[in-house]
Amino acid sequence: MRFSRVRLLLPALVAILAACSEQKTARQEPAAPSVAAPDTTAARPATPAASATPDTSATHNVAAFLAGLPVSRQSELRTLTAQPAWQAYAADQTKSWTNYHTTRTAKIEQWAATELDSVRAASPTVFYPFSGPDFLNVTTMFPTSTTYVLMGLEPIGMVPDPATLENPRLFPALKASLWSVLNFSFFRTNDMAVELNSKKPDSNTLNKANSLVKTAERTNQRVNIGGVVPLLLLFAARTDHQVEALRYVQLTPEGQLADADSATVQKPGLNVVPGVEVKLRSKAGQEKTVVYLSADISDWKLGQTKDAALKYVRTLGPLTTYVKSATYLMHKSYFSKVRNLILERSNYLLQDDSGIAMKYFKPADWQFTYYGTYKRPINLFAKQYQPALTAAYTDKANPPRPLPFGTGYNWRQNDSNLLLARRQQPVQP
């Protein structure tokens, strides 16, 4: 089953790039002896002191290179960072990420430190369905979690090879792919780009985003690196994580992770759920695991794959689930299996209004805290309007709490909403 309206622009830029991170080691060597490395100290304010662990990972150096950050002295990529195309890209990324961390990361961290403090402490595992490669937002919301399970339709891809990395067309493609997630918090579809522009035609940000995409397409600046792996690596580096290991995996029919060869992951059979597992270490030394599964989790497709993806999620124990920009799929009857799993196995659910519709919650089982502002969905999803949310957000006896940042499809700060649902009786392991 395909959902053409929910295919990410990223896979289109994933043909450009692929499909659709707590702390990159700061104490690395300059990019090249004769060329000054970009100043990455400003990329994220008030980061802790760097870890003394040396950078010996070739995969991590690829992550740093993709992120526009310095690679280690011994890396084979060191000479590539002296090239003008990479230098210009790195300078641009330093500017973009400095702005992102100032205007978004800092606000989320300050808000979540208060509003999600107890949730974070009880969230070793976070399930993020319909995520694509968005490790960026989930690790910002839940920086102390140790396991993140992401799922999306986007293919796995591979660690880019040297020929891809030395191609100067890579950098405009990366820039175009990252623009919307850094400015809107989500990867855009083509339909959403049109919708948002028609709603806010005066938006310089949206106009610039469209210009970047069109320029990349017009000049054929396409580099096919195949899937989500490159962006997972990039986000890991830009959120100050050390990439320590990466392996390709697939799910057994019983829902267990098993090793997979690259051929199986790149061209999986109809009944195969391929994935990638990335081992990370934060700057504070915390070990983390990120699992991305390329899985269609509609009821029909889950039946075809023997519910392997949901069986795997059940092995993780009690969950914290995070849902954002999920195209309202779990409002629909044919996403009942994943919806029911989340409601059965989650102690906490943090979502915008595109997640699980309020009508599916049993009020006696949950405590709700509302944040921000609920407005009607953008026109593309107008049919998913929820009167129950309007009633909750206009309840003068229990007014919603502030949300000092934008998220979801109504991405502006004063237009966005989040719901935190806490289970009254915790799920037992």
Regarding predicted confidence, which is higher, 33 or 105? 105
3-state secondary structure of 261: coil
Predicted local distance difference test score (pLDDT) of residue 19:
33
Predicted local distance difference test score (pLDDT) of residue 313:
98
Regarding predicted confidence, which is higher, 267 or 4? 267
Residue pair 248/210 in contact (Cβ under 8 Å)? The answer is: no
Q: State the Cα–Cα distance between residues 121 and 369, nearest whole angstrom.
A: 18
Average pLDDT over residues 193-203: 36
Predicted local distance difference test score (pLDDT) of residue 413:
74
Q: Residue 71 above 70 pLDDT? A: yes
Kindly report, residue by residue over 322-341, the tens digit of the pLDDT: 999 999 999 999 999 999 99
Kindly report, residue by residue over 282-292, the tens digit of the pLDDT: 999 999 999 99
Predicted local distance difference test score (pLDDT) of residue 201:
35
Judged by average pLDDT, the poorest of 118-122, 219-223, 311-315, 401-405 is 219-223
Predicted local distance difference test score (pLDDT) of residue 129:
98
Half-sphere exposure in the Cβ direction for 13 (13 Å, CA): 30
Cα–Cα distances in Å, from 375 out to 372, 382, 416? 10, 11, 8
Average pLDDT over residues 24-31: 37
Q: State the Cα–Cα distance between residues 168 and 393, nearest whole angstrom.
A: 49
Q: Residue 130 above 70 pLDDT? A: yes
3-state secondary structure of 424: coil
Average pLDDT over residues 226-255: 94
Confidence category of residue 408, pLDDT binned at 50, 70, 90: confident
**Whose CA is closest to 353, among 313, 301, 316, 400?**
400
Kindly report, residue by residue over 137-190, the tens digit of the pLDDT: 999 999 999 999 999 999 999 999 988 999 988 888 788 778 767 766 555 443
Predicted local distance difference test score (pLDDT) of residue 224:
53
Q: Residue 300 above 70 pLDDT? A: yes
Predicted local distance difference test score (pLDDT) of residue 209:
42
State the chain's mean pLDDT as an integer: 82
Q: State the Cα–Cα distance between residues 183 and 412, nearest whole angstrom.
A: 10
Q: Is this model's pTM higher than 0.75 or not?
A: yes
Predicted local distance difference test score (pLDDT) of residue 183:
63
3-state secondary structure of 227: strand
Judged by average pLDDT, the poorest of 135-139, 177-181, 220-224, 240-244 is 220-224
Confidence category of residue 270, pLDDT binned at 50, 70, 90: confident
Q: Residue 5 above 70 pLDDT? A: no
**Whose CA is closest to 353, among 307, 428, 403?**
403
Give backbone dihedrals phi and psi of 158, rounded to 5 degrees, phi first.
-145, 165
Q: Which ranges of 57-169 would DSSP assign to H, the alpha helix?
A: 58-67, 84-100, 106-115, 117-121, 135-141, 162-165
3-state secondary structure of 70: coil
